[in-house]
Chain A
Amino acid sequence: MNMMAALTVPDVVLTRTETAGLVALAARSVPPLWPLESAIAVNPLAGFEDLPFAEAVQQAAQRFGARESLPLTAWRQLYAAGRIDPRMLRDVAIRALGGSYPAHAVVTPGVTALDLLIARLTVLDPQQAEVEREALTPEVAFLAKWCAAFFDQGQAASPMPHRELGLYRAVLALAGHDPDYARLTGTAGAQLLLTVSRDPLTAIAEGLAALGVPEGGEVGHLAGLVARLPGWAGHIRWRAEHTDPANVAAAPGTMADLLALWLLLERAGALTPRPVAADPATAAVPALAAHFGWDAATRDAALASASGIVRQVAGYSDDRLGGLFMTAAEWTYRNTLVPQLETAAARLDVAGAAVEARPDAQLVFCIDVRSEPFRRALEAQGSYETFGYAGFFGLPIALHRHGEERRKRFLPVLLAPQHDVAEAPVPGQEAAAASLSEGLVRDRGTAALFGAAKQGTATAFATAEATGPLAGLLMAARTVGPRALQRVSRALAPERSAVLAPTLDRHPGDCARPAFTLEDKIGYASALFRLTGLKPQTARLLVLAGHGGSAVNNPYAAALDCGACGGHKGGANARILAAMLNEPAVREGLAAQGLVLPADTVVLAAEHDTTTDTVVLFDRDRVPASHAADLAALEAALERAAAANRARRAPLLGRSPEDLLTGAVHWGEVRPEWGLAGNAAFLVGPRAWTSGIDLAGRAFLHSYDWTADADGTALTTILTAPMVVAQWINCQYLFSTVDNHRYGSGDKVTQNVLGGIGVIQGNGGDLRIGLPRQSLFTDAGEAYHVPQRLLTVVHAPLARVEAVITANEILGRLFGNGWVQLVVIDPETGRTRCWQPRAEPDAEGTDPQDLTLA
């Protein structure tokens, strides 16, 4: 332990503002962490996206103490299961060795360099044993404990005092009474408590000076401290950047607070050194020699060869070998999918599609990968045309749900809400709505009373005795007959969506002001057509389908909901846009823009339950009698599609289709569905391009018609927003699989939920980030999700795609640094091009010559 730090007040070199700048930079090393109620997928390596992918993964692994790749044994399981084409693995190995000539160079008689590398990849024992994961260190446990107390959201029976002072000062005020602090820091810590500045920024500057951190090394030092507690640091970023300030004003906690506490511990010599990764060196030489039957002389001759290839291959770390497997998995997927898309593009006749017969109904789904197989199943049921659009339907809203204190953001985290929307009774359902409202208030009061009684020192046992029998009965019902219990619950209370609906014409805080002006409504309505290529010659029924999952007793339930709706179900957004599109004044406004919808088009909202595949149609009683037959036919088709998709999904979960319905309401179900596991591609083009291909629920589908987007505005929007969200999701799944301990949240069975904030493992430690093990791995421990980077395929002229990328820095970064792989299929030339990531990490912009043949 480092006990050298000066305990006197050092000469501070940095100003407070300089320190604030350094703290802001250090904070970027972790992404924000959303609370469970609105769990959002984020790339845990978002702070490293300025670097090329491989370099970023390496640096992040060092900073977080994480693995760079799935273990070799797991890759080999995927390889054996046929998820990776052996030819692709061979091609990747040849490229890694510098090309065909050096790869086929003879190392010893009958053995080439390629043979060596393939043996290391597929046969020889891994060099890095599965290391024992670093146990919770005392300083992490100490800070995590205080963070949990400080950021508590009303769950604690005795709230932490002094929270109004901020995290740093509140902990300083109490640390002197904490025996853990005394054990950790001894007398040095006690002295520091008396002398350290009470201003976190000044304390950080003092700490950096006292520890002798050199100029230029401050950000790295602070980022290293942030990375020691990435969960709580991410929560602090979420509080600072993504929630309404009023929600967190009572307990202000900033990254400067957290860093000041870390530096306090470091100055007191309380930090455990981070383990340094061992150099793989050439430990694999004996294994190679044994595998190829080399005697000592042959081995020595091979090692002494001028090319040094044996040392090179023997020196590959398992992480690097894993990286080759990942590339092979990506190539396997790309080389299977892209030729199919090329063939489909060649057959695509956009002009012909425009004169096709009017479909029975058109349905717009979220781009989510789970929509694709359902859409395919529905399209097989009749004349149904489907589209893919961001699931928030372009509406940047915050919803004030009836009976809830705080508004919720139903929009992508990339956006700030621009409209506050309230819920109001559905016309004709006022009495039921009032009854529901009373029930909500009563339930909240009961829950608060029960919570207080359960945690009170004088009432805890009495509460357990009084409610125990009822709780026991409920538990038995939940276990033995969860679906029966669900039916009973539904019979006792009205369905919320049947009695309450978002209202467009009344702002929640100002009844005289509408939530949307007519101009807003026309704008959002027309965006649906502009961004998806939906033609104004709409069907008699146009359905906007949001989506959400179903799970009980599952802290990750929100992760199954719509990411574009801020981790909420998407029905509300669909209802709002449907209501807009049905307004005569909006139709007139659209017509003025050249979007003349048939008078007989009725727009409906729906919600696709991705766990059960049932689709609820909202406000169906307002469908005119003239459309009753269309509606009945559609509902029947939706039911058939649901059954077909359940039959497809059930074997993937190792269950029966019927059991999927039970899992959705069973409180012991740890994997109600696979969520977005398997996600691999983001396809931008018309549905006719992809409809003939079984994409196996692995592709985000955004509808796009290049012929209707001359200036590239729609393409810019699609690539800079929905694709960015898809990339976050892809990276979250990728890294949560690669290292479920560091980038994921570990086994659900041993998780504990911390208030509404997040989960911890066991009874303490950092807030866990990422996805649980059950969302990514089978019960047998095999990776269900293949960690691979997103493949974006765009059906548009090359020059247009290139112009969009050049004008948007974020795209140059994602494609240029290899975070997303881009393939463009040019409908004008029929050529397919692959965007080549740039080799130089600091080069700005991507040269047109970088577009090379796939």
Chain B
Amino acid sequence: MSTNAFTRLQLHRLRKIEIVVHAEDHGAVEDLLKTAGVGGWTMIRDVAGMGHGGFHQGRSIFNDHTGLVMFVGVAEAPVISEVAIGLSRLFETRPGVTFLSDVEVIRSDYFASSTSTLA
């Protein structure tokens, strides 16, 4: 793609949240994402890596609830802030890390909020 073509691209500024938690907590994180109104997310299972507690192994073959999972979600800034607020309560007692960053996407309709708060 030429530089000119790139500058013609209509890009939309959104926020991205990446969350790494123990696999057993994946349901709690999904609840938060849904409640905040994130329309969709990516979940990467069996994340391995180095942390405060040493090297974390990916899951073992007979247990989905061991190891770490990583969520990646993109949405409007207020929605992502909502997720971060909810996570801050979760992280008071459960281990995990989260990263927030600005991103640009081509198709903003893919990341529309799904909030359906009941009155």
Binary CB contact string for chain A from 803 to 842 against chain B (1 if under 8 A, 0 otherwise): 0001111101000000000000000000000000000000
Query: CB < 8 Å: which of A390, A415, A844 contacts B64?
Result: A415
Binary CB contact string for chain B from 12 to 41 against chain A (1 if under 8 A, 0 otherwise): 000000000010010110011001100000
Cβ < 8 Å to A, chain B residues 70-92: 82-83, 85-90, 92
The answer to the question of A17 belonging to the interface, with a C-beta cut-off of 8 Å to chain B, is yes
Contact: A17 with B60, CB < 8 Å? Answer: no
Q: Which residue of B has the minimal Cβ distance to A169? A: B118
The answer to the question of A749 belonging to the interface, with a C-beta cut-off of 8 Å to chain B, is no
Contact: A198 with B90, CB < 8 Å? Answer: no
| Residues on the A chain within 8 Å of B22, using CB | 809
Binary CB contact string for chain A from 188 to 223 against chain B (1 if under 8 A, 0 otherwise): 000000000111011000000000000010010000
Per the bound structure, the CA–CA distance linking A201 and B90 in Å amounts to 15
Per the bound structure, the CA–CA distance linking A24 and B90 in Å amounts to 8
Contact: A22 with B89, CB < 8 Å? Answer: yes
Distance in angstroms from A194 CB to nearest chain B CB is: 14
| Residues on the B chain within 8 Å of A721, using CB | 60-63
| Residues on the B chain within 8 Å of A25, using CB | 28, 89-90, 92-94
Q: Which residue of A has the minimal Cβ distance to B62? A: A721
Per the bound structure, the CA–CA distance linking A23 and B63 in Å amounts to 25
| Residues on the B chain within 8 Å of A390, using CB | 62
Chain B interface size band reads 35 or more
Q: Which residue of A has the minimal Cβ distance to B22? A: A809
Contact: B119 with A16, CB < 8 Å? Answer: no
Given A18-B85, A24-B27, A844-B53, 11 additional A-B pairs, CB 8 A: A16-B36, A20-B32, A21-B87, A219-B93, A415-B63, A717-B61, A807-B55, A807-B57, A809-B22, A809-B53, A845-B53
Given A25-B93, A201-B35, A241-B27, does the pair A810, B52 have CB atoms closer than 8 Å? no
| Residues on the A chain within 8 Å of B52, using CB | 844
| Residues on the B chain within 8 Å of A198, using CB | 118-119
Cβ < 8 Å to B, chain A residues 345-400: 390, 394
Distance in angstroms from A253 CB to nearest chain B CB is: 14
The answer to the question of A128 belonging to the interface, with a C-beta cut-off of 8 Å to chain B, is no
Per the bound structure, the CA–CA distance linking A499 and B98 in Å amounts to 54
Contact: A21 with B89, CB < 8 Å? Answer: yes
Most buried by B among A17, A808, A845: A17
Contact: B53 with A17, CB < 8 Å? Answer: no
Query: CB < 8 Å: which of B53, B57, B62, B90 contacts A412?
Result: B62
| Residues on the B chain within 8 Å of A812, using CB | 53
| Residues on the B chain within 8 Å of A197, using CB | 118
Contact: A717 with B94, CB < 8 Å? Answer: no
Contact: A17 with B57, CB < 8 Å? Answer: no
Contact: B63 with A21, CB < 8 Å? Answer: no
Query: CB < 8 Å: which of B64, B83, B89, B90 contacts A416?
Result: B64
Cβ < 8 Å to B, chain A residues 390-448: 390, 394, 412, 414-416
Chain A interface size band reads 35 or more
| Residues on the B chain within 8 Å of A241, using CB | 27
| Residues on the A chain within 8 Å of B108, using CB | none
Given A24-B28, A806-B54, A807-B57, does the pair A16, B35 have CB atoms closer than 8 Å? yes
Q: Which residue of A has the minimal Cβ distance to B56? A: A809
Distance in angstroms from B75 CB to nearest chain A CB is: 12
| Residues on the A chain within 8 Å of B31, using CB | 20-21, 23-24
Interface residue ranges, A against B (CB under 8 Å)? 15-18, 20-25, 197-199, 201-202, 216, 219, 240-241, 390, 394, 412, 414-416, 527, 716-717, 720-722, 724, 806-810, 812, 844-845
Distance in angstroms from B63 CB to nearest chain A CB is: 4
| Residues on the B chain within 8 Å of A809, using CB | 22, 53, 56, 66
| Residues on the B chain within 8 Å of A17, using CB | 32, 35-36, 82-83, 85-86
Contact: B65 with A845, CB < 8 Å? Answer: no
Per the bound structure, the CA–CA distance linking A414 and B60 in Å amounts to 11
Binary CB contact string for chain B from 93 to 104 against chain A (1 if under 8 A, 0 otherwise): 110000000000
Per the bound structure, the CA–CA distance linking A15 and B32 in Å amounts to 11
| Residues on the B chain within 8 Å of A415, using CB | 62-64
Q: What is the total of A-B residue contacts with beta carbons within 8 Å?
A: 108
Contact: B27 with A15, CB < 8 Å? Answer: no
Q: Which residue of B has the minimal Cβ distance to A811? A: B66
Distance in angstroms from A371 CB to nearest chain B CB is: 18
Distance in angstroms from A620 CB to nearest chain B CB is: 30
Given A16-B117, A17-B35, A844-B53, does the pair A717, B89 have CB atoms closer than 8 Å? no
Given A17-B82, A20-B86, does the pair A414, B57 have CB atoms closer than 8 Å? no
Query: CB < 8 Å: which of A18, A20, A394 contacts B62?
Result: A394
Distance in angstroms from A398 CB to nearest chain B CB is: 14
Per the bound structure, the CA–CA distance linking A199 and B87 in Å amounts to 21
Contact: A15 with B85, CB < 8 Å? Answer: yes
Q: Which residue of A has the minimal Cβ distance to B36? A: A17
Contact: A808 with B57, CB < 8 Å? Answer: yes
Contact: A414 with B27, CB < 8 Å? Answer: no
| Residues on the A chain within 8 Å of B55, using CB | 806-807
Contact: A808 with B66, CB < 8 Å? Answer: yes
Q: Which residue of A has the minimal Cβ distance to B87? A: A21
Distance in angstroms from A382 CB to nearest chain B CB is: 32
Contact: B60 with A716, CB < 8 Å? Answer: yes
Binary CB contact string for chain B from 41 to 59 against chain A (1 if under 8 A, 0 otherwise): 0000000000011111100
Query: CB < 8 Å: which of B28, B53, B64 contacts A414?
Result: B64
Distance in angstroms from B2 CB to nearest chain A CB is: 43
| Residues on the B chain within 8 Å of A16, using CB | 35-36, 82, 117
Per the bound structure, the CA–CA distance linking A24 and B63 in Å amounts to 21
Distance in angstroms from B96 CB to nearest chain A CB is: 11
Distance in angstroms from B57 CB to nearest chain A CB is: 4
Q: Which residue of B has the minimal Cβ distance to A530? A: B61
Q: Which residue of B has the minimal Cβ distance to A722? A: B62
| Residues on the A chain within 8 Å of B88, using CB | 18, 21
Contact: B117 with A414, CB < 8 Å? Answer: no
| Residues on the B chain within 8 Å of A216, using CB | 92
Per the bound structure, the CA–CA distance linking A216 and B93 in Å amounts to 11
Q: Which residue of A has the minimal Cβ distance to B93? A: A25
Per the bound structure, the CA–CA distance linking A530 and B89 in Å amounts to 43
Most buried by A among B31, B52, B55: B31
Per the bound structure, the CA–CA distance linking A108 and B52 in Å amounts to 52
Per the bound structure, the CA–CA distance linking A722 and B62 in Å amounts to 8
Per the bound structure, the CA–CA distance linking A240 and B117 in Å amounts to 20
| Residues on the B chain within 8 Å of A201, using CB | 35
Contact: A18 with B89, CB < 8 Å? Answer: yes
Contact: B27 with A21, CB < 8 Å? Answer: no
Contact: A720 with B60, CB < 8 Å? Answer: yes
Q: Which 3 A-B pairs have the closest CB atoms?
A: A721-B62, A24-B28, A17-B86
6 residue pairs from A and B, CB less than 8 Å apart:
A21-B86, A198-B118, A240-B27, A414-B63, A720-B62, A844-B53
Distance in angstroms from B39 CB to nearest chain A CB is: 15
Most buried by B among A15, A21, A412: A21
Per the bound structure, the CA–CA distance linking A216 and B66 in Å amounts to 28
Distance in angstroms from A819 CB to nearest chain B CB is: 15
| Residues on the A chain within 8 Å of B28, using CB | 21, 24-25
